[in-house]
């Protein structure tokens, strides 16, 4: 995870001090996150994801997709723009359990 947060910091052209201030921790604490000497709390992982505009799954190495709604990812979806908007509007209306169910269903369909 340290490598990912370092890459995101560099991508944003920020110093460790800037990210540490945004996160509300000492620079040395943040530097230890990047070096892999310390693991951020779950709350700080969520904050880092918000700061860098990436998913928590991406930060912890569970996914290589930085942001689900990144324009490049959306453009790769084989749907017309109208269908993409319709899908997004439907997803916005769903609660977490419904979205999880939809994701599991789509994963099942793709695997089979």
pLDDT at 40: 97
CB 16 within 8 A of CB 30: yes
Query: 45-86, pLDDT tens digit by residue?
Result: 999 999 998 989 999 998 887 876 665 655 666 777 788 788
Q: Output the average pLDDT for the chain.
A: 88
Q: What is the pTM of this model?
A: 0.63
CB under 8 Å, gap of 24 or more: what pairs does 91-96 form?
A: none
Q: Minimal CA–CA distance to 55: which of 39, 47, 44, 67?
A: 67
């Amino acid at each position: 995870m340290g490598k990912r947060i370092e890459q995101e910091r560099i991508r944003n052209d920020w110093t460790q001090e800037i990210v540490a201030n945004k996160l509300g921790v000492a620079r040395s604490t943040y530097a230890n996150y990047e070096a892999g000497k310390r693991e951020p709390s779950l709350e700080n992982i969520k904050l880092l994801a918000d700061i860098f505009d990436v998913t928590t799954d991406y930060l912890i190495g569970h996914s290589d997709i930085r942001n689900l709604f990144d324009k490049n990812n959306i453009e790769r979806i084989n749907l017309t723009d109208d269908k993409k908007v319709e899908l997004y509007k439907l997803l916005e209306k769903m609660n977490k359990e419904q979205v999880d169910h939809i994701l599991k269903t789509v994963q099942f369909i793709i695997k089979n």
